[in-house]
Amino acid sequence: MTELHISSSPEPQPKLLNEYEKITPLHYRILFMSWAGWVFDFYDLMLFTFLLIPIAAEYHFTNMQMSYVVGATLGATAIGGVIFGMLSDRFGRKPVLQWTILTYSIGAFLSGVAGSLGFLMIFRIITGLGVGGEWGTGQTYIGETFPAKVRGRYCAIMQTGAPLGIALASVVGGLIMPLIGWRACFFISLVPALMVLYIRKRLPESDLWLLRKAAGKTPRKKFLKFEFEGVKQFITLFSPVHRKYFLLALVLAILDMSAYWLTYSWMPSYLHVERNFSMTKSALWILVTQTGGFLGYLGFGFLADRFGRRPAYSLYSVVMAFGLVMVTVFWDVIAVYPPVILGFMFMVGFGTGMFGGFGSLFSELFPTSIRNTAMGSAFNLARGVQFLTPVMISVIAVNYGLGGGISLAALFALLTGAWIWTFPETMGRKLYTGD
């Protein structure tokens, strides 16, 4: 199927992709490439957490210095989310998806040649910019092209790229790294850039975005003229029309991101240092959480399409919080039953499946003209705020250990499940192109 072109003639136009009754091969191609971009997006982001120890050992960096690098990476995702979101709303979903993948691939590759803390931080910031842009662009792409009745499950399927990305990072950072060294692990990250060739040749532009463009409301500005328009676009999020939903979305993402990053930013080190796991065993246990995450994302999408976005979030938040409390505060109580601990680790991962709801929920709240800007900004500004979490855990760990810091994630998970009820129920809502 070739790319859809919207004309201004009075002749009947073909159905939009999100109006199809059945999912077509073109839908699946859009899904697969958005999903694959997210897999390697998260892989490049999380690989660094598995390489913290060997990098610090080689350069004699302290935990606090490494926390600053992790925090700077997360902070850069906020900037990337805003910038690439505005670019996508102005230039289209397809080209910007390619730009984000190239950015994080190059940043990760360069991380392998860093020879100092300063250069390492710069290259991780470049990685963060691309990482921040890919999620919003991919989720907008899927949200605009998939039918409303199944939007939740397919947006959630894209989100399964996160646990698979972490699983891949666990394998490379925990199992392969001792054989090839930490620098070679980063060099592998250049491979995802090859996906750009497929996207350029085989994927269409979002026809909903093209419809907006054909109406003369989303012109392709020359790149040098984009800056002013992009700033206006971002400011629009705080206008009376959109401010309420944008702030609600931002707070929801901050709460859920806090739960996630308080859990995972130091989890490998928590298992290795405080629970005396080898790096290999630590990686294997993280794989258990990501197995739970993968199944959790899949289940969330079907649950959200069947019962609504709000009940799904609340249920998953309780599951995550309970699992977290058990593997931190009550670890010593259940330590004599390793299978039980693994079960709770699985629950932690399964509960993070509520991230599968952001794509569908956010796409249903905003119009096409600012959809990617809103989605990318809310999701990634929230992730950018998380530059504080690695540092926060390091500070708390001085008195309460890494487990004490990680246990705070349970509180944020529960707050996420409560905050979702400030939103209207958007299940099955038709996307709109107006302002």
Q: Categorize the per-residue pLDDT at 433 as very low, low, confident or very high, splitting at 50, 70 and 90.
A: low
- Residue 7: the pLDDT is 46
Cα separation of the two ends of the chain: 30
Question: Dihedral sign, CA of 123, 141, 143, 298?
Answer: negative
Mean pLDDT of 84-89: 92
Spatial distance between the Cα atoms of 252 and 204, rounded to a whole number of angstroms: 32
Residue-wise DSSP of 252-285: HHHHHHHHHHHHHSSHHHIIIIIS---HHHHHHH
As a whole-number percent, the residues of the chain with pLDDT over 90 amount to 52
User: In what helix (H) or strand (E) does residue 402 lie, and over which residues does it extend?
Assistant: helix 388-407
- Residue 94: the pLDDT is 94
Asked if the model's pLDDT at residue 398 lies above 80, the reply is: no
Q: Highest mean pLDDT: which of 134-138, 263-267, 282-286?
A: 134-138
Nearest of 249, 347, 336, 332 to residue 291 by alpha carbon: 347
| Domains, the chain, with CATH or none | 22-204+238-422 (1.20.1250.20)
Task: Please state, in angstroms and as integers, the Cα–Cα distance from residue 295 to each residue in 102, 128, 185, 309, 351, following that order.
Answer: 29, 26, 27, 17, 10
Mean pLDDT of 256-282: 80
Q: What is the pLDDT of residues 207-239, one digit of tens each?
A: 999 988 887 655 455 544 545 555 677 888 999
Q: What is the pLDDT of residues 40-81, one digit of tens each?
A: 998 988 888 888 888 988 888 887 788 788 888 888 988 999
Q: What is the pLDDT of residues 140-150, one digit of tens each?
A: 999 999 999 99
Q: Categorize the per-residue pLDDT at 37 as very low, low, confident or very high, splitting at 50, 70 and 90.
A: very high
Q: Categorize the per-residue pLDDT at 167 as very low, low, confident or very high, splitting at 50, 70 and 90.
A: confident
pTM for the structure as a whole: 0.82
Mean pLDDT of the chain: 86
- Residue 184: the pLDDT is 93
- Higher local confidence (pLDDT), 85 or 228: 85
Tokens at 201, concatenated: 């040749």
Which residue is listed with tokens 């109406």?
Answer: 215
- Residue 412: the pLDDT is 94
Mean pLDDT of 384-401: 72
Q: What is the pLDDT of residues 4-23, one digit of tens each?
A: 444 444 455 678 999 998 99
Question: Dihedral sign, CA of 16, 18, 24, 26?
Answer: positive
Q: What is the pLDDT of residues 312-360, one digit of tens each?
A: 999 999 999 999 999 888 888 887 888 898 999 999 999 999 999 999 9
Torsion from C-alpha of 170, 168, 290, 147, nearest 10 degrees: 160
Spatial distance between the Cα atoms of 372 and 215, rounded to a whole number of angstroms: 18
Q: What is the pLDDT of residues 312-324, one digit of tens each?
A: 999 999 999 999 9
